[in-house]
Amino acid sequence: MRATILHGARDVRFEEVAPPRITEPTDAILRLSATCVCGSDLWPYRGIQAIERPTPMGHEYCGIVEEVGGAVKSLKPGQFVIGSFFASDNTCLICKEGYPSSCQHRKPVSGAQAPLLRVPLAEGTLVATPEVPPADLIPSMLAVSDVFGTGWFAADAANVKPGSTAVVVGDGAVGLLAVLSAKQKGAERIIAMSRHPTRQALAREFGATDIVTERGDAGIAHIKELTKGLGASSVLECVGTQESMTQAIGAARPGGFVSYVGVPHGVQLDGAKLFFTHVHLHGGPAPVRRFLPELIALVWNRKVNPGKVFDLTLPLAEVAEGYRAMDERRAIKALLRP
Amino acid sequence: MRATILHGARDVRFEEVAPPRITEPTDAILRLSATCVCGSDLWPYRGIQAIERPTPMGHEYCGIVEEVGGAVKSLKPGQFVIGSFFASDNTCLICKEGYPSSCQHRKPVSGAQAPLLRVPLAEGTLVATPEVPPADLIPSMLAVSDVFGTGWFAADAANVKPGSTAVVVGDGAVGLLAVLSAKQKGAERIIAMSRHPTRQALAREFGATDIVTERGDAGIAHIKELTKGLGASSVLECVGTQESMTQAIGAARPGGFVSYVGVPHGVQLDGAKLFFTHVHLHGGPAPVRRFLPELIALVWNRKVNPGKVFDLTLPLAEVAEGYRAMDERRAIKALLRP
């Protein structure tokens, strides 16, 4: 089969590789219905995060079970399933406490920008939909696999509750779905920080009540102005840079909650400064598996449409154009059809 | 009157100053029953935190109301009261949300190592005991003012609940009272990190079930060994150095809670490393005012004896010896009698 391999900065190729096969009895092989390019794929694509060798790309996926290993009892070929970027056993203490992305036996899932994917720990990792979903639900089901689950974690970790005021830093797909998540969790006021008109429009469609276009100190000042001079009780940091983190912490009120869900790149936090902000800080790789049943149900019942973040759809063979479009911010997120 | 003034590194003097007087109608003047030296006083005493001019010292206090300003209605001369290191109005939104030490109108209280003290925002800041307490309760009432309140915040912010396993990093007075606080909050297992036999003994008396003497990576390894390889769900960081913070975060399990209550000195947190630990992080200047009614009741009803951390009692005139004894770790905490 042909799959997506990153060879170096801005050198992504769709090329012949051996198809995946069952290597552990707990594995499953999926035939993917859709996959996509992640904002985090852009770090190595841009050369900011070095790669040591040609690397199979992709970790967002949904599709049909093609084959299962001998130890997999609860999944059957033909089922439509969704999983996350870390395979998890869903039985260890850390999984039970709600952090499957730090599962004691976790394994990365990689190589999902391909027609076929091997998923380790399949029973713990994959959640099946009631039936094979209709075609128009596929983008939203795919979003559940990572970006929606990550946006949901951002809202969860920032303690968004009915009536909350939430600030979302970042207008990428995760940030936009953090807006949607905050809305679903009952936030009364959702302030999206964005300076891109098309992204602002989608943020508003997802539930944003205010848009702040300033960044840095001016952005913080504007947030304070909108929150009685105090800052917000919930701030969702969905980028992962020093600037975005500083902005997020500065926009929170004392005793407020700041979540951060993008892998930080070059971020340093000064302990004394953080101390006097009095914020709660929580983040990490989103424990998407915890949220899968709830989010699949929201999509299945057509309560939300997170698939709207895919504003570009390409045949998988044109994956390199997907990377380019996202790198140049021509697209929010590129869906790939195998 | 004579009061405690820091003139430079290791140069603390008890010298003549003007007595405090009411300067705002919301002030009160207290005649102190007891005061003490704080671990945080040692930062400027050691010259690690620079002072720009001779500085009145002391921010822990309890005593009798001597005089009140014209706007103070709920306090009367003769009452015994306790307050905290930040004066707070107890009415602003931040106070109502539980963070009086970040009160919108907060003012520092300073100069408490003296016979008389001016407390701003007296009605919001001070809490009276039911009656003037008997002499043997004074040390514990004084502890409520800062170290017990701070240890309590450490336990609260680290989400210590009935059945929790809590690790306490730091065996100073705050760390020891964090042990006591974790015990009061129902922790089943309390692991104190200490290498000083007398402090270990007091930690055990306050409720510690295990003592870990190693530091750094060896300390983290020992904590993991005691917690099924996972780390603890609650870690209370009560020091404020890079080493103690690194140790605290390393001792927590994914999804666990790390509190930090000592002002960080030279602490830098790497965003990416913190991200992958998956911990919740919360701290800051302890919002002691939030806890005063509860902690005063615990002491008044003789449920706890936090005053045991005072293992040295001196006349106030000998305050310099109190600093020396704490600096040299000959004393855990020095109580001063005006």
pLDDT digits (tens, 9 = 90+) for A10-63: 999 999 999 999 999 999 999 999 999 999 999 999 998 889 999 999 999 999
In this structure, the answer to whether residues A67 and A161 fall within a common structural domain is no
In this structure, the answer to whether residues B237 and B163 fall within a common structural domain is yes
Q: Which two structure tokens, joined as six digits, stand for A40?
A: 């985090």
Instruction: Note the pLDDT of residue B86.
Output: 97
CATH classification at residue A268? 3.40.50.720
Instruction: Note the pLDDT of residue A49.
Output: 87
Mean pLDDT of A192-201: 96
Cβ-defined contact of A270 to B267 (cutoff 8 Å): yes
Mean pLDDT of B285-297: 98
Residue A147 phi, psi dihedral angles, 5° rounding: -65, -40
In this structure, the answer to whether residues B125 and B245 fall within a common structural domain is no
Q: Tell me which residue in B97, B242, B266 faces A255 most closely, judged by beta carbons.
A: B97
Q: Does A169 touch chain B (CB under 8 A)?
A: no
**Whether the Cβ atoms of residue A251 and residue A219 lie closer than 8 Å to each other:** yes
| Alpha carbon of A11: minimum distance to chain B alpha carbons (Å) | 26
Residue B65 phi, psi dihedral angles, 5° rounding: -65, 125
Residue A32, H or E segment: strand A28-36
Torsion of CA B274, B218, B48, B10, to 10 degrees: 150
Domain boundary among B283, B298, B327: B283
Q: Is the pLDDT of residue A228 over 90?
A: yes
Q: Which two structure tokens, joined as six digits, stand for A196?
A: 């891109």
Instruction: Tell me the CB-side half-sphere exposure of residue A321, using CA atoms within 13 A.
Output: 9
In this structure, the answer to whether residues B33 and B104 fall within a common structural domain is yes
Mean pLDDT of A140-156: 98
Mean pLDDT of A179-188: 98
**Whether the Cβ atoms of residue B62 and residue B138 lie closer than 8 Å to each other:** yes
Angle at A155 between CA A151 and CA A156, to 5 degrees: 110
CATH classification at residue A305? 3.90.180.10
Instruction: Note the pLDDT of residue A337.
Output: 98
Q: Is the pLDDT of residue A193 over 90?
A: yes
Q: What is the pLDDT of residues B14-54, one digit of tens each?
A: 999 999 999 999 999 999 999 999 999 999 999 988 899 99
**Whether the Cβ atoms of residue B252 and residue A259 lie closer than 8 Å to each other:** no
Q: What is the pLDDT of residues A83-115, one digit of tens each?
A: 999 999 999 999 999 999 999 999 999 999 999
Mutate to test the interface with A, among B164, B224, B267 (most CBs of A within 10 A): B267
Nearest CA in chain A to B276: A284
Q: Does A283 touch chain B (CB under 8 A)?
A: yes
Residue A277, H or E segment: helix A271-277
The set of residues, in sequence order, having a beta carbon less than 8 Å from that of A99 and lying 6+ positions away, is: A284, A287, A290, B254, B255, B278
In this structure, the answer to whether residues A192 and A243 fall within a common structural domain is yes
Instruction: Note the pLDDT of residue B152.
Output: 98
Instruction: Note the pLDDT of residue A35.
Output: 98
Structural domains in chain B (count): 2
In this structure, the answer to whether residues A41 and A65 fall within a common structural domain is yes
In this structure, the answer to whether residues B166 and B140 fall within a common structural domain is no
Mean pLDDT of B195-222: 97
Q: Tell me which residue in A94, A242, A245 faces B254 most closely, judged by beta carbons.
A: A94
In this structure, the answer to whether residues B12 and B37 fall within a common structural domain is yes
Instruction: Note the pLDDT of residue B41.
Output: 95
In this structure, the answer to whether residues B108 and B12 fall within a common structural domain is yes
Mean pLDDT of A222-236: 97
Domain boundary among B267, B283, B299: B283
| Alpha carbon of B284: minimum distance to chain A alpha carbons (Å) | 4
Instruction: Note the pLDDT of residue B49.
Output: 87
Q: Which residues of B touch A159 (CB under 8 A)?
A: none
In this structure, the answer to whether residues B213 and B329 fall within a common structural domain is no
Q: Which residues of B touch A267 (CB under 8 A)?
A: 270-272
**Whether the Cβ atoms of residue B28 and residue B126 lie closer than 8 Å to each other:** yes
Instruction: Tell me the CB-side half-sphere exposure of residue A42, using CA atoms within 13 A.
Output: 22
The set of residues, in sequence order, having a beta carbon less than 8 Å from that of A266 and lying 6+ positions away, is: A241, A242, B271
Q: Is the pLDDT of residue B217 over 90?
A: yes
In this structure, the answer to whether residues A210 and A314 fall within a common structural domain is no
Cα(B61)–Cα(B82) distance, integer angstroms? 7
Mutate to test the interface with B, among A103, A241, A282 (most CBs of B within 10 A): A282
Instruction: Note the pLDDT of residue A203.
Output: 98
Q: What is the pLDDT of residues B128-138, one digit of tens each?
A: 999 999 999 99
Q: What is the pLDDT of residues B231-287, one digit of tens each?
A: 999 999 999 999 999 999 999 999 999 999 999 999 999 999 999 999 999 999 999
Q: Is the pLDDT of residue A215 over 90?
A: yes
3-state secondary structure of A61: strand
Note down the domain range covering B298. Answer: 2-146+287-337
In this structure, the answer to whether residues B159 and B113 fall within a common structural domain is no
pLDDT over 70, % of chain B: 100
**Whether the Cβ atoms of residue B334 and residue B310 lie closer than 8 Å to each other:** yes
